Structure 1
């Protein structure tokens, strides 16, 4: 780090006055993430969302600071604190307050990128105090007086990946001179207090009850063990291997396969995953938790919030013909998506009550997370570079043991390709079986696309 540049580093403040404010019950998403962070303890920062993005060709710092301030006025989630009162979680939206912003100065774009990467890692490694601080950390890195890097870290209590991408899009519009008032007038979106009010309404309570009933019914029907269990108790410190399949062909084939099978590409992928994992486990049926990252109404689609939607997908029988499996999967997939919004701490209590009464629940330790979003491919943070046109399969490393997880697969859009990112319990599946699964999913989709 250049000594002269370091001395120019400083902190400024964004001031919010007379924004929307209020107090009310926490949303289902806030409750779910807040509970998860409490369980994680010192490991909670791994849920933080982060972005260190290049700003080209560079902007005046006053313009970006103005945009940051407008962003805080636009989205209430960025000014929301979570407090526990009388045993219940409450959200408080502050109408007034200040937020520090670090301003770093570097001599070259390369040094600016390095400083941004270092700072975003530092910000993301620190847990948020949800009761006392706003769930956002901001910084700018300047070269020759212009902003060349923007650093943003959010608590997961404020947004999920979908919401963060909407926030970044809005920041780009605000940096170009728009105002929070203009953007709010152009589109409708739910703020967290409005979202909570809907969930507490009679319609919201019915939705919650129906979703939790769906979980209880499906967990009584699904396979008790999706994968063969080891004879001996596995080492609790065992690593969970991580594999990545990067496939340009899969990205091209998905829309073709979906059109031929008259289904959505998300259902085609999910059916392929069900087929391959059931084959590895020797099962006729399949059950998994589907992380539902998309939104189904205009109010939620444009919202910066965290939904923490996990649906339960149950396919009673895999067909011999993949096209038939896709057809069978469409109804269960829609049902899983429809019942993905609920009060998760209450569901956890429901399931614990069933276990205590001697009910053996179906194995729901497989997680499928299709993160693809139309905005994702348009908002590269510079860390993903176009790769080869050929398929690439790698094992980047391993993760610490994940309680309650046997297999977790993320579907991610990267420049020119789709990636399948797989983490497994090494006591249940080995590298060879991970390769069989990843390549099998790809081959099923390519075959369906012809």
Structure 2
């Protein structure tokens, strides 16, 4: 069943699109019918369940807090603008459930809603789902266009939704609105920050290897990109132990392992990855709901040798990438096109753990690593259409009592046996290091 929640009195205005909005717009419009896979979605249980009018009030309050939820984009053939609407209506989808089946129903409903694309020019970028038990909303699902929020914004959005549904005001975190962010970006300070970030990118692009898989360079892309998923309870345990033992974060350990595993396959002495950076450490962005995350360029020289040393160096390299991950991507694309030669930057690593609050998965139970490793699985769930300028994309994501590495790759460069060696190689490097630290 579908209905709508009407709202009025929200902040309104028109201005240039933000860097994040422009970058996602550029990606999503190329995807066509496949654009829904860029949606971000999550949900939360409501205890006690709410009457639908109370849920409607909470959603209206959410819209007043976050302008991105009532903002559309407008492209005139030359310039992309954002338009914040003072009034409108949000689609609400409902699904009935028995009280004991609410969570199971919500998980299935979540995937259905997330698979519906948005029209960023003509539709408001929020869709609400409610699982009803006894006529009341027992679970709420928020599906958001990626032009309106990234994964970190979704986490903020769900926290605010939980507070409003419980009758509380959201926390006092800074919440820069998209029009405010755009105003900063066109200011002198914003232009300086953009110039510094793009300069850092250009310098790294001139230093890295021409190809990270030189013996396979220049091959036409495969007709389909396989997707492999490694489910590893042992890797989840070992990442935590290695990070604690070497006094770094888990992200640095994962990046080092991916760099070393790629070097084993391709032989390149340096790794160059585009890593997704949340950018929420910037002023005014801690509690923001907008698409602010962008790719930083990580250049990690010397991927051979001692793994512990590589982990420590990856921590510093990641910090450098994170400092320079807030920029005008369309301008950066022009910079890269103007370079006489740019290194291979077709490999992507995205750590999404903790960004899907609907899942609520418990972490792995402590156990011997060898026993945990015996439960590792590798599956091949699907194939994707070819992805432009991509050798591989690696996502780290939560799983029940485990960690998953989902990898999509150009089979012309990394055929399935090499994808398997790469994923298992990451696990082996981290688990071996954890055992050495015991």
Query: TM-score, normalization: structure 2?
Result: 0.88
- Local SS of the residue matching 1:46: helix
CA distance in structure 1 between the partners assigned to 2:292 and 2:124 by the alignment: 18
1:360 and 2:347 equivalent?
A: no
1:171 and 2:161 equivalent?
A: yes
CA distance in structure 1 between the partners assigned to 2:417 and 2:59 by the alignment: 48
Counterpart mapping for 1:417-436 below 5 A:
417-436=402-421
Counterpart mapping for 1:407-418 below 5 A:
407-418=392-403
Does the 8 Å CA contact 1:79/1:93 hold for their aligned counterparts? yes
- Local SS of the residue matching 1:137: strand
Counterpart mapping for 1:341-360 below 5 A:
341-354=326-339, 359-360=340-341
Q: Which moved more, 1:103-112 or 1:25-34?
A: 103-112
In structure 2, what is the equivalent of residue 302 of structure 1? 287
In structure 2, what is the equivalent of residue 63 of structure 1? 54
Would you say how many aligned residue pairs link Structure 1 and Structure 2?
427
1:121-168 Cα offsets, whole Å, 9 max, x none, are 2x4444323233211112323232122343322111000111112111
CA RMSD after TM alignment:
2.7
CA distance in structure 1 between the partners assigned to 2:399 and 2:92 by the alignment: 30
Does the 8 Å CA contact 1:116/1:141 hold for their aligned counterparts? no
CA distance in structure 1 between the partners assigned to 2:103 and 2:352 by the alignment: 29
Q: Out of 405, 429, 433, which is 1:448 matched to?
A: 433
1:130 and 2:116 equivalent?
A: no
CA distance in structure 2 between the partners assigned to 1:96 and 1:436 by the alignment: 53
- Local SS of the residue matching 1:38: helix
CA distance in structure 2 between the partners assigned to 1:266 and 1:112 by the alignment: 30
- Cα deviation for residue 94 of structure 1 reads 1.6
- Cα deviation for residue 220 of structure 1 reads 1.5
Counterpart mapping for 1:133-282 below 5 A:
133-178=123-168, 182-183=169-170, 186-230=172-216, 233-234=219-220, 236-237=222-223, 239-282=224-267
- Cα deviation for residue 305 of structure 1 reads 0.8
Q: Which moved more, 1:402-411 or 1:298-307?
A: 298-307
CA distance in structure 2 between the partners assigned to 1:103 and 1:413 by the alignment: 27
CA distance in structure 2 between the partners assigned to 1:353 and 1:53 by the alignment: 47
In structure 1, what is the equivalent of residue 278 of structure 2? 293
- Cα deviation for residue 110 of structure 1 reads 4.5
1:398-427 Cα offsets, whole Å, 9 max, x none, are 222212111111011223222111111111
- Cα deviation for residue 30 of structure 1 reads 0.4
CA distance in structure 2 between the partners assigned to 1:431 and 1:440 by the alignment: 14
Does the 8 Å CA contact 2:237/2:364 hold for their aligned counterparts? no
Counterpart mapping for 1:12-31 below 5 A:
13-31=4-22
Does the 8 Å CA contact 2:352/2:397 hold for their aligned counterparts? yes
- Local SS of the residue matching 2:123: coil
Does the 8 Å CA contact 2:44/2:158 hold for their aligned counterparts? no
- Cα deviation for residue 322 of structure 1 reads 0.9
Structure 1 residues 199 and 323 mapped into 2: Cα distance closer, same or farther (>3 Å)? same
CA distance in structure 2 between the partners assigned to 1:402 and 1:292 by the alignment: 21
- Local SS of the residue matching 2:179: helix
Q: Which moved more, 1:167-176 or 1:13-22?
A: 13-22
In structure 1, what is the equivalent of residue 358 of structure 2? 380
- Local SS of the residue matching 1:50: strand
CA distance in structure 2 between the partners assigned to 1:308 and 1:297 by the alignment: 11
- Cα deviation for residue 85 of structure 1 reads 4.5
- Local SS of the residue matching 2:414: coil
1:306-352 Cα offsets, whole Å, 9 max, x none, are 12410111112224111221233233221111111110011111222
Structure 1 residues without counterparts, runs of 5 or longer: 1-8
1:275-306 Cα offsets, whole Å, 9 max, x none, are 11011101111111111236223632311111
Structure 1 residues 346 and 102 mapped into 2: Cα distance closer, same or farther (>3 Å)? same
In structure 1, what is the equivalent of residue 86 of structure 2? 95
Does the 8 Å CA contact 2:222/2:411 hold for their aligned counterparts? no
